[in-house]
Every structure is written in C-alpha cells, then in structure tokens.
Amino acid sequence: MKRALLKMLTLAAVAFGWAANPVQAAESIRIGYIPVLGSSALFVVDGEGWAKQAGLDVQLVRFTSGPQAIQALVSGRIDGYVAGVLPLLQARAHGVDVKVVATASIEELSVIARGALADGIKPDDTSGLTPDAVKAIFARFKQDQKRLPRLAAQPAGSVPDTLLRYWLQKQLGFEQVNTVASIVGVDIDAAQQAFLAGAVDGAVLREPALTVVKTRLPDARILASGHDMMPDQPGSVLAIVKPDAAEHKAWVGTLTNLFVRATTLLAQHPDEAVPFVQKALGGGMLNDDVMKTALEHSASRFVSDPARIVESVRQLQDFEVSAGLLRKAEPVEDLFEMGLWQQAKP
C-alpha cells in the first residue's frame, strides 16, 4: 500500500507540480557523475525513463573523480553534476554560479583495512571502534611493519582526501597526518584495485566497492564507518549551474523532483533499483546479488534533504582552511538552494 501511495503521489507531483505539461528542454541537459553508489538516483531517473517522460533530454557524462567533474563544470561542459560537495565551494569562489538543489546520500565513505592493518579487528566490528582502539592499531602497525600504513584516497582537494585527513586529525587526534599514514591520491577505480592488489594497506571506499572488496577479501575489515569518520558526512549531491537562469528554470524543478523521487525509491525499495545501478556501475563485473547487497546496506543513507549536510560541509571547509588546504572559507549557505527540494520533497 505504501509503495502504491508513494508512486501515486510522485506521479501526481510530476503531473501537477513542476510539469503540468511535459517540459520541452531546448537542448540536452548534461549531468556529470562519478561511478559510485551515491550517484544511484541519477541511474534510476535514467533507467526508469522518467526524464524522457517529463520531456527532458538528460545526458549522463561519466568522470573518474570529483575534481575532473569540477573542471568540466567550471569550463561549461556540463550543466550539473552528481558528486562530492566540497569542490563546489571553490567553484563558487572562482565565480561559477552553481548550487546544490538536493543531496543524494550521506556517510558514503568508509575506511577499509587489510593485512597487518586489519589484525585484531573482529568481523562484526563494522563500526564503533573507539578512537583509542584505532590509534592503537596504527601504532602497532608502525612498530611491527617498520613503516607507515599506505592509505588510498582520491586526489588532493577531493572529498575522500579531505575527509580522511579530517578523520585522522579531528576524530583520532593526530596532529600531523604524515606521522601516522602515507596517503596515496588516485582515482576511484585505482583505489579499489590498489587495495585488492595489496599495494596499499587501507583505502577510503564507498559502495559497491566495499561489498566487492569484502567478498573477494574476507579478511578485510572496516576501520571506520561513514558515521565514525564524520556524523552526517556529506556525500554526493545534485548541483546545477545557474539554476535561476531562464534557460535552466525550464527544467531544473522537474529534474530535482525526479531526483528526489529516485532517492526515496532507493531508501525504501533498494531492490527495485538493482538493474539500473547494475547497468551503470556493474560493467559486467558484478552480479546482481553483490549490487543488491550494496544497495541494501546503503538504503538508510540515501537522503535527499540538503539541509542535512549544511553543518558538516561547514565543518569540513573550516578544517580545510585551518589545515592550509584552502585560502579562505566561502559562505556555505550560499551554496544551497533549499526551495527546490522543499517543493519536490515526498
């Protein structure tokens, strides 16, 4: 009954809210994304054919890291993106009129360990290791291996890199990152491959990579869950360039509505999204069971309300400034357009 009611309400919203008549976009709407589970709402919108039904020609453009997507956004090659939120603040600092209209997920990123770095972590310790326990793991590794653990993240300036440094310094209390770990900045696929190959001792990964890794390496352990790294950790967002421009107003409300609808489906009925996410992320390498498990594990983290991450974005930006990663803080509130979500929320 709930499922039927949700469908009726969302169909009604499209029919009578943003699109009393199907929107006819003047040209293709180019939305960049990075291939992670946090982008799943975009895959659902595309796979279900909702955008086409609403008169939108949405073209998905794949990137391997957030900074790559930001470069495309700044240069005008895409109209919006589904990826990490922090680089958007710097894009705005450089004069790009871009705003977050909805979130896609929260607490996506976790730290996973293997080999000596995973020693002593029980299989059921998927979260909840105390900071002291984690610090002891790092100390033991350094003493036994005579080196620092290598941790794979994405390139400097990306959300995974910033969040890893935040976790090490603010949550664990290490004053200097380079005294506790060697951070290796690579793209998303390379981080997973490096971890599987044993080239690194730990990695900042998201689903479905976490499920894949744990399936292939049963001894791998979660060193820090997304919540452990930062409560309400900002994940992927839907951001639009010039959302108030006349040419974008014609479709931005409808797209936001559909994105929120897809996020609600992922949170409430993740199994229904499997074929769409599998097509976008599986690449013939993952079976449906792995993707279903990854989506089910992430269901509670598919959240569309942008207000949920405002404070955590502010905290991460303040951290970047204090760590010398950013020259100055940008107004966080100016990054968010709450009105579109308010009109689209289920």
pLDDT score recorded for residue 124: 62
E strand segments, the chain: 29-33, 58-62, 80-84, 98-103, 110-113, 150-153, 182-185, 202-205, 221-224, 236-241
Query: pLDDT tens digits for 58-70?
Result: 999 999 877 788 8
Residue 263's nearest CA partner among 85, 48, 61 is 48
User: How many domains are contained in the chain?
Assistant: 2
Residue 23 has pLDDT above 80, yes or no: no
Domain, as residue range, for 116: 109-229
My answer on whether 122 and 214 are in the same domain is yes
Domain endpoint, select from 229, 262, 285:
229
My answer on whether 147 and 68 are in the same domain is no
Residue 11 domain-assigned (yes or no): no
Query: pLDDT tens digits for 69-120?
Result: 889 999 999 999 999 898 898 899 889 999 999 999 999 999 999 999 999 8
Calculate the average pLDDT of the chain.
Answer: 88
Q: Which residue would you say has higher pLDDT here, 289 or 22?
A: 289
Residue 267 domain-assigned (yes or no): yes
Nearest-angstrom CA–CA distance, 282 and 277: 7
pLDDT score recorded for residue 14: 39
Percent of the chain with pLDDT over 90: 72
Domain endpoint, select from 229, 256, 285:
229
My answer on whether 169 and 277 are in the same domain is no
Q: Which helix (H) or strand (E) holds 28?
A: none
My answer on whether 212 and 113 are in the same domain is yes
Task: Locate 219 and state its tokens.
Answer: 């001894």
pTM: 0.84
Question: Which of the residue ranges 6-10, 154-158, 273-277 would you say has the lowest mean pLDDT?
Answer: 6-10
Domain endpoint, select from 184, 214, 229:
229
My answer on whether 118 and 148 are in the same domain is yes
